[in-house]
Structure 1
Amino acid sequence: MQFNSHTSVEKIAQCFKSCGRACKKCIPKLRILPEDEVVEGDSSSADGENVIEEHVRDDKEESAVTSLHEVTDSRAHLDGSLNELKKDMPYELRDEAGRKWYKYFDEYEYRLNKEYKTSRKWYTFLYPNHATQTKAERRLLYKLDIIIAVYFLALNWSKSVDSNNYTSAYVSNMREDLKMKGNDYIYTSTIANVGAIVFQLPFMYLLPRFPAHIILPVMDLGWTWFTFACYRAKSLAELRAYRFILSAFGAAYYPVSQYILGCWYAPDEISSRVCLFFCGQLLGGVTSGLLQARIFKSLNGVHGLAGWRWMFLIDAIAISLPTVIIGFFVIPGIPSKCYSLFLTDEEIRIARARNRRNQINDGVDKSKLRPLWDLKLWKKVFCTSSFWVLVVFDTCSWNNMTAFSGSYTLWLKSNSSYSIEQVNNLSVLPACLGFAYVFFCAWGADLFRCKWIFMVFAAIMNTISCAILIKWNVSSSAKWYAFLTTYFSVAASPCLWSYINDFLRLDPQVKAITWIAIYSFSQSTYAWIPTLAWQTVEAPKFRTGYITSIIFGSIYGLWTFVVLFFYKRNEKKNALGNGIILYDSSKGEEIPTFVKTDMEEKAGYFYVKN
């Protein structure tokens, strides 16, 4: 048989080209829909009007809208807002006369109109279809839960395993091997927190400008590498250096993940999805203890490595590295700048329609972003009452978390009747119960459309737990009850973050800066308050720590009502965008003129005339 080298080379070349095309299809690219191209070429086209609504107005228009919102209660505002009305959206005409005092506690009174509230059955609260009333919207939510919510669960699980490994390793002979003493445990944690705080700040610039499917995996790769490096730490100083850099690479995943979730989910859907994110954190607490117990038993001393070193090795290679690879392919970006390989064009259109219906502005073109040094931008962030209200809220949330203090594990360690393996196994019990607490609060918030009541309930439960542990000299069963309910200090976090997302939904750039600012400030207090409150030398009683937690927990529960007040005030200003036309006949106000002249009534709701 004659060998034709030329033909063989051509076949090989064709094979490489086919593989290249296949690989190219698997690389996430910006999804540009036909109507997006029309808008770029002809901004006056009718098809482009809906897409233009997704972009931020220029400074002049923005200032006009801002001043418009400041006079929401006046007829002039309503009559001048015709251009803000959305076609095909049902508007509720609401007379504020005779409004009852207890409506203050109706969280979504001005956020959702009557049609929106009644358009779902109670049992479909996880998968409603408000915007399009089609199965396609529900199918979109199924997909989003798989490619976003479940991925962030896995990502947070990976991060939580890494973080909890430090505590597990500490009680598994790392303390002795690295000659840690006194408050070295809490000081090392503080140093790591400083790394996360400092390196969050650049994301004020990066977050609205660069796609998350690039940002998160790159940062996650750095986290993975330095988790791996922890196994070779020969001294406390070396371990602290690795933990500092590791936390610096982990600075992005909390604010970026919440930023993305807030761009895809409606206000009465998001708590349930943030719940999955926090379940990843709890799952990390569970698996870390169990894995460390198993590894310590099976691998301690194998190839001359201590059991706690094996944990860092396995964690980096088998847990963290896969999330790096998966993240690049599954993170979809945001609806207006989608990079998803799994969503269809129709589903991207539905996601955009949902955002228009829910008054969520998810993205801004780079050319319309203000420079980071623009004073107007910073005034818009810091010169608002909402920012400072949320800072206090998040700071109290961070510092009332007895669940992550390590006190329970150190209490077990102080009991000589428990072996190292038993300590690691028993350490997972509060986190296991934490799943139930988090689901109860987050799903209850979406089911009943009421976050505040679950936040107050969680604060009360956490206060009771801390009060028992402050007394300390109580029965064994009371002490176990207190430790096993410490995760109520975490349970309300999905509701808290849902509030923040909804407060910030109108301006993507302000949202990015505010998220980072709130999170950095809150976490910075968590870098030094635990150092004073949870000093390792006070183990296992930690009286100062529990007193600190009960103070912040009590403020957290009471501050919820302050947040509710500002939330409702903001939503009343934006009621028209939420599909609610307000007037008050008791003050002599009449139905706005544009309702009579430019809208028509259908089935009790008003629609813009075609």
Structure 2
Amino acid sequence: MGNPQTNPIRSWKGYIWDTWDLPQDQRRLLFKVDAFVLTFASLGYFLKNLDQNNVNNAFLSGMGEELSMYGNQLVTSTSIWTVGYVIGQIPSNLLLTRVSPRWVIPALEVGWGIATFCTAAVKSYKELYALRFLVGFFESGFYPGIHYLLGSWYTPQELGKRAMIFWLAGTVGNMFSGFLQAAAYTNLHGVHGLSGWRWLFLVDGIITLPLALLGFLFFPNLPQGGKKTWWTTDAEHELSVNRMKTIGRAGKQPWTRAKAKRVLLSWHTYFLPLLYVIWNNGIPQPAMGFWLKSFNKKPNPVPGKHFSIPQINNLPLVTNGLSIAMALLWGWLSDGPCRGARWPFIYAGAVLTLAFSIAMWRMPLYSDIEGRKVLYWLSALGNGAGPLILSWINEICSNDTEKRALLVAAGNDLAYVVQAVAPNFVWKTTDFPAARKGYTWSVVLQVLLIVWTAAIQVLLWRDRRAKGRGVEEAVSEREHEAEGEGEEGAVTVGKV
């Protein structure tokens, strides 16, 4: 078996899916891992985003009136969800280094599934607050936990595209939530005396819980943990361990004072999570729906021009479709032709988003309607670097699994902290559709993203140079010792 990190792609099929150019034993192993890990992770993330965003659809479908949410209660419920999400992430990811993901991740799904199911029975917005906190708390460990799990099974030539597929499953979940609410309201409103919005939570819970229970059966242990997963053979388990050893993916180590000090003093701890925070918060907020709706205001900004409700909801979906296609392309290019390099796509995303943010900021709202419509559709082409950033963190921190788990979770955690605060100042609803302050914020963060990525590359280059110098010194020292032993042997022979 060749080195799994450097196995060359030998055919066009290998560029489409890497396993086709791998030896038969690796191909069989990765087929199982993709089937049981990637599939269940993607379905779980789809449901997580469904259960995260359903409260907004429920609010628009009668929940606000039934629960007397006439003030700022919807925003408060979102903030309470964020509190639970922020609190749970880092402890949950560190728990994965001590308890098998086979138990932790499905348990999280069961937790938010039950909380979602119970939301159908709330009688007041205070009860809603409590359940939204629990949904956020249990959902918190899923996204960073899955990235940590993916980084524990896949090599750099395999990780990027799978991290991208996983992330995009959540995007589809966001899009699907509105369709599901519409179907629940149309077909179930009033059935057994329950409102359509209550049926939304029941349906989401019913979908989530069976998948979570199946997760206890199919989610694997970590190769580095030493315990074989039941659906792998002994040979496949040994292969999975050797694959990770080959790329330096370390297993768990005890938390000691010396280890904590190393993590605390490492530049990784401060630079890597902030890279994800900058990317996450530099993405412009979706604005096309606000722009389309503004044509229906009085006085009409463009006399005779207006958009229907279906158009306002459906036209922005083109943006999501193009963004998904570009993100998938990046995942494939990063793993394949770029041989696991992540940084080119961080730069590409930053440059694209910078250009589109400047264009959205400067272009008049109503002078070229078709041109601005196309600009909105193209504006999210640079949004797909996030999964590759977390893949990069996984790879940079390969030799310390606890630090790897900590920094993947910290990046996502801090991103949500900033995301909970910053939009209140730079993406105010009253500023749309122009939102010039928001686009200025995006321009600044895209420039910072470029600078921050370059700084990380310089630090990595410095570390490689220092490591290379250390290896040269060690070799030189061994050669010097060998020469000394040879001279001593020669003297001894002369005396004899």
TM-score range (shorter-chain normalised) is: 0.7 to 0.9
Q: After TM superposition, list the pairs within 5 Å mapping 1:116-515 onto structure 2.
A: 116=6, 118=8, 120-121=10-11, 123-125=13-15, 126-127=17-18, 134-175=23-64, 178=67, 180=69, 185-203=74-92, 205-318=94-207, 320-337=208-225, 338-361=227-250, 363-364=251-252, 369-370=254-255, 374-402=256-284, 405=285, 407-409=287-289, 411=291, 416=296, 423-426=312-315, 428-449=317-338, 450-471=341-362, 473-474=365-366, 475-488=368-381, 490-515=383-408
Q: What is the deviation of 1:411? A: 4.9
SS at match of 1:264: coil
CA distance in 1, matches of 2:281, 2:77: 18
Cα drift, residue 292 of structure 1? 2.6
State the Cα deviation string for residues 507-534 of structure 1 (Å, max 9, x = none): 1222223333333233222221223333
Distance 1:466 1:244, change over 3 A: farther
Contact 1:433-1:484 at 8 Å conserved across structures: yes
Q: Deviations over 1:503-561 (max 9, x none)?
A: 11101222223333333233222221223333334444443333323322332233222
Picking from 545, 563, 566, the partner of 2:438 is: 545
Match of 1:487, as an amino acid?
A
What is the aligned-residue identity percentage?
27
Alignment of structure 1 residues 1-150 onto 2, 5 Å:
116=6, 118=8, 120-121=10-11, 123-125=13-15, 126-127=17-18, 134-150=23-39
2:448 corresponds in structure 1 to 555
SS in 2 for 1:341: coil
Is the CA contact 1:441–1:455 (under 8 Å) kept in the aligned structure 2?
A: no
Q: What SS is found at the alignment partner of 1:265?
A: coil
Relative contact order: is structure 1 or structure 2 higher (C-alpha 8 Å, sep ≥ 6)?
1
Partner Cα separation in structure 2 for residue 241 and residue 350 of structure 1:
46
**Which string of whole-angstrom CA distances, capped at 9 and with x for unpartnered residues, describes residues 157-210 of structure 1?**
111122232343344454555555676554432331111111223235422111
Q: How far did 1:436 drift?
A: 0.3
Which ranges in structure 2 are unaligned for 5 or more consecutive residues?
A: 297-305, 484-496
Residue 564 of structure 1 is matched in structure 2 by 457
Aligned CA distance change for structure 1 residues 161 and 541 (closer, same or farther; 3 Å): farther
Which whole-Å CA distance do the structure 1 matches of 2:202 and 2:292 have between them? 26
In structure 1, what is the Cα distance between the partners aligned to 2:31 and 2:419?
36
Q: CA deviation at 1:324?
A: 0.5
Q: CA deviation at 1:236?
A: 3.9
Structure 2 CA distance for aligned equivalents of residues 349 and 194 of structure 1: 41
Going from structure 1 to structure 2, the CA distance change for 1:289 and 1:423 (only over 3 Å counts) comes to: farther
Q: What amino acid maps onto 2:361 in structure 1?
A: I
Q: Which amino acid aligns with 1:459?
A: A
How many pairs align? 466
Q: Which amino acid aligns with 2:260?
A: W
What do residues 116-162 of structure 1 show as CA deviations (whole Å, max 9, x unaligned)? 264755642432599xx731112212221111112111111111122
Q: TM-score, normalised by structure 1?
A: 0.68
Q: Which runs of 5+ in 1 are unaligned?
A: 1-87, 91-110, 598-610
Judge which range, 298-307 or 460-469, deviates more.
Answer: 298-307
TM-score by length of 2: 0.83
Please report how far the alpha carbon of residue 305 of structure 1 lies from its aligned counterpart in structure 2 after TM superposition.
3.9
| AA in 1 matched with 2:391 | S
- For residues 522-601 of structure 1, the aligned pairs below 5 Å read 522-571=415-464, 593=479
Using the TM superposition, give the Cα deviation of residue 388 of structure 1 relative to its aligned residue in structure 2, in angstroms.
Answer: 1.3
Contact 2:323 2:382 in 1 (8 A): no
Q: Distance in 2 between matches of 1:397 and 1:143?
A: 33
Answer whether contact 1:213 1:331 (CA < 8 A) is retained: yes
Counterpart-to-counterpart distance in 1, 2:314 and 2:201: 18
Whether the 8 Å contact between 1:156 and 1:280 is mirrored in structure 2 is: yes
Could you say what secondary structure the match of 1:141 adopts? helix
Residues 19-46 of structure 1 show CA distances to partners (whole Å, capped at 9, x for unaligned) of xxxxxxxxxxxxxxxxxxxxxxxxxxxx
What is the CA distance between 1:257 and its match in structure 2?
A: 0.7
Cα 1:235–1:355 change in 2 (3 A) is same
CA contact 1:290–1:428 (8 Å) conserved in 2: no
Q: In structure 2, what is the equivalent of residue 24 of structure 1? A: none
Q: 1:191 to 1:224 in 2, by over 3 A?
A: same
Q: For residue 384 of structure 1, report the CA deviation from its aligned partner.
A: 1.1
Q: Give the number of the structure whose residues are more often helix, by fraction.
A: 2
Q: CA deviation digits over 1:256-311, x for unaligned, max 9? A: 11111111111121101101111211211232232233333333444454433332
Given that residues 128 and 138 in structure 1 are in contact (C-alpha distance below 8 angstroms), is that contact kept between their aligned partners in structure 2? yes
Instruction: Give the stretch that moved more between structures: 309-318 or 298-307.
Output: 298-307
In 2, the alpha carbon distance for the partners of 1:313 and 1:321 equals 11
Q: CA contact under 8 A between 1:441 and 1:491: conserved in structure 2? A: yes
Q: Cα–Cα, structure 1 residues 201 and 495, in superposed 2: closer, same or farther, change >3 Å?
A: closer
Name the CA distance, whole Å, in 2 between partners of 1:260 and 1:396: 23
Larger deviation: 203-212 or 266-275?
A: 203-212
The one-letter amino acid paired with 1:566 is L
Aligned equivalents of 1:187, 1:406: Cα separation in 2: 21
Output the CA distance in 1 between the equivalents of 2:85 and 2:155: 29
